[in-house]
Homo-oligomer: A and B are copies of this chain.
Amino acid sequence: MLAPVTQTTDARGRLVAAAQELFAARGVSATSPRQVLAASGVGQGSLYHHFPTKHDLALAAVGATVDDALAESLQALSAEAPALERALAYLGRPRDALAGCKVGRLTSDQAVMDDEAVRTVVGTYFARLVDALARVLAEAGLPDADARDRAHAAVAVVQGGYVLARATGDPDAMRAAVRGMAALLRAEAGR
């Protein structure tokens, strides 16, 4: 019995993957268990066996999405480069601006904000991201309090960039916002 994982991992895994995709594309509230069923290819009974309520499914899918997103973001911040360049690398990462942030969009989703457990997962994502960026900016030479403010601003610029790009239908809005922030950070560092 060296392969301890049962075959059920498959059905469960497919359900979570399908839910992640649909939640990212249409939001949690706007996605029905029926749609997840259809996309995953499993039967109705299976879904409710693994996830008795939509809440359980949302928690699993959002948790997986947050884990993925956090790993990707922290990667840019922990590269082999000077601290300021690592911060700018996070800012400049390629993003699908018109799709919106898979995590950030959840804060406008009623089904998420009304669910304490899910909302906490989303909150932890941003808390950890800001913490990591603040450490990098402190390493770049800023006093701790200033580094935290700049980190909040930088993460906010990315989130707001998504909003601007989606609202205007123009991905350049995100690029302009990030460019503006990067220029300001460089200017301050070169003081």
Contacts and interface: CB of A to CB of B under 8 A. Distances in A.
Interface of A: 26-27, 29-30, 100, 103-110, 113, 119, 122-123, 125-127, 130, 146, 148-164, 166-169, 173, 176-181, 183-185, 187-188, 191
12 contacts: A27-B110, A29-B29, A100-B108, A106-B167, A126-B168, A130-B164, A148-B176, A149-B183, A152-B173, A152-B177, A153-B157, A184-B185
Q: What copy number does this chain have within its complex?
A: 2
How would you classify the secondary structure of chain A's contact residues: helix, strand, loop or mixed? helix
Given A149-B183, A150-B184, A160-B163, 16 more contacts: A27-B29, A104-B160, A105-B108, A107-B167, A119-B167, A122-B167, A127-B168, A146-B180, A149-B177, A150-B180, A156-B156, A156-B157, A156-B158, A156-B164, A157-B157, A163-B163
A68 B106 CA distance: 26
Contacts of A148: 176, 180
Contact of A184 (B108, B109, B164, B184): B184
Nearest to A126: B167
Given A100-B108, A110-B30, A180 B151 contact: yes
